Amino acid sequence: MSAETAWWKSTEAMVAGILLLAMVLIGLVNPAFWSLENLFSLARSNVVIGIMALGVLLVMISGGIDVSFPAFAAAAAYLVVRAMVDWGWSTGVLVPFLLATLLGAAMGLVNATLVWKLRMIPLIVTLGTAAMARGLLNGVVGTSNVNINKYPKSLIAFGKTDLITLTNAKGASFGLPATVLAYLGLALVIHLVLSRTMIGRSVYAYGASPEAAKRVGFKTGRTLIFVYVTAGALAGFAGLLQSSMIWMANPRDFVGWELDVIAAVVLGGASIFGGRGSVLGTMLGVFILVMIKNSLILMGIDTTWQRVVVGLMLIAAVALTALRDRKAIV
């Protein structure tokens, strides 16, 4: 996103404005919204979807779209946990996460190669690889969950770690999970890479005009590899993170997450046409989405209806950004 002369005209400021307005409205309807317990729980819900959104953001800036990340996340998480359980590894936290990230990256490399070498449309490529990842996982490795009784203790401990632990009026304890730090750290890194490095700028350049990027001398193959491998790695990492936060590895997890994550990224101002989008905007988009879903739950609205709301938000956000992009061109 190019720096505008007036910051309040930027997409991020607009999204932040919408977020604040929504928070005030929700707070009026339900004062419990502002309780620390609810805010901590919101933060917790942001982590996994947020990390996945960072990957989708990269793909969208490059002009593509990724629907394979939920499958990759499920596969990476399940493979690592299954290996730890079946082969009795007790390797702490770092190695499993590294392994999940690498698995995700490897699957991302498949996407990159297909998009780059065969010049295929990213939507079709990622639909295909997602189906294959899920199919292979369930067919070759298995379909049974790894539940809390068998789940690796080190990961449970990691998922339980809180930065701050407080006790509510009823005496139950609640906290701000440490995994929030992983999300913020990754967001910062992706932000710096996107805005300050040549590889990051090459993603915007490729998304804005692949032909011009080639003519200027970007190695566009490298750009695509960076985009899809990073998106895969983030998905793998997020997959295991989610699993460690719910103490369970489900090989059929993350079904339907595409909708939430893509909606959040588009809400955050990224353009489905490529060349536009920012980490800050995406984080705000994720926050809006999570907050609205969370409020729907608090209001006791059925999960099926939540999907209607998310679908509506996605379409509204796409319509708005398309309008903005058209305006910019005129």
Partner 1 sequence: MTNPTPLIEMRGITKRFGGVTALDDVSLSIMRGEIHCLAGENGSGKSTIIKVMSGVYQPDAGSILIDGQPAGVLDPVKSTAAGIQVIYQDFSLFPTLSVVENLTINSFLREGARVVDRKRARAMAREVLARLDVDLPLDAAVETLPTSGRQLVAIARAVLADARLIIMDEPTTALTGREVERLFRITRDLQAHGIAILFVSHKMREMLDLSERLTVFRNGRKVAEGAITDFDEAAITRAMTGRDLEAGHYDAPAIQGTPRLEYRDVSVPGRLSGVSLKLWPGEVVGVSGLIGSGRTELALAAFGMLPPATGAVLVDGRDVTPRSVQQAIAAGIAYVPEDRLSEGLFLTRSIRDNSIVSSIRRFAPGLWLNRKAAADATREMFEGMAIAAPSSEVAVGTLSGGNQQRVMIGRWLMTGANVLILNGPTVGVDVGSKATIHAIIHRMAREEGLAVLMISDDVPELVANCNRVVTMVHGRIAAELSGPSLTEDALNDSLRLNIAVSA
* Contact residues for partner 1, defined by CB under 8 A: 1-5, 195-201, 204-205, 207-209, 211-213, 215-218, 271, 274-276, 328-329
Closer Cβ to partner 1, 104 or 207, answer by number: 207
Give the nearest distance from C-beta 224 to partner 1 in angstroms.
Answer: 17
Give the nearest distance from C-beta 231 to partner 1 in angstroms.
Answer: 20
Please name every residue paired with 146 in a beta bridge, in sequence order, or none if there are none.
Answer: 249
Give the nearest distance from C-beta 2 to partner 1 in angstroms.
Answer: 4
262-285 in b/e form (b: 16+ CB < 10 A) is bbbbbbbbbbbebbbbbbbbbbbb
Alpha-carbon torsion 143, 149, 155, 161, what sign? positive
CA distance 72 to 229: 11
Which residues fall within 8 angstroms of residue 141, CB to CB, at 6 or more apart? 78, 79, 82, 251
Give the nearest distance from C-beta 111 to partner 1 in angstroms.
Answer: 23
Coil vs helix vs strand at 249: strand
Closer Cβ to partner 1, 211 or 300, answer by number: 211
Give the nearest distance from C-beta 141 to partner 1 in angstroms.
Answer: 39
How is 66-106 classified by DSSP, letter by letter? ---HHHHHHHHHHHHHHHHHHTT---TTHHHHHHHHHHHHH
Yes or no: say if 227 and 199 are a contact pair by the CB < 8 Å rule.
Answer: no
Give the nearest distance from C-beta 115 to partner 1 in angstroms.
Answer: 20
Q: Which amino acid is at 184?
A: L
Closer Cβ to partner 1, 204 or 257, answer by number: 204
Closer Cβ to partner 1, 157 or 192, answer by number: 192
At 323, list the tokens: 């309008």
Closer Cβ to partner 1, 141 or 208, answer by number: 208
Alpha-carbon torsion 317, 318, 319, 325, what sign? positive
Give the nearest distance from C-beta 216 to partner 1 in angstroms.
Answer: 4
Closer Cβ to partner 1, 56 or 76, answer by number: 56
Give the nearest distance from C-beta 185 to partner 1 in angstroms.
Answer: 19
Yes or no: say if 30 and 299 are a contact pair by the CB < 8 Å rule.
Answer: yes
Closer Cβ to partner 1, 223 or 294, answer by number: 223
How is 126-177 classified by DSSP, letter by letter? HHHHHHHHHHHIIIII-S--B-TTTS-HHHHHHHH-EEEEEE-TTS-EEEEE
Closer Cβ to partner 1, 60 or 176, answer by number: 60
In degrees rounded to 5, what are phi and psi of residue 318? -65, -45
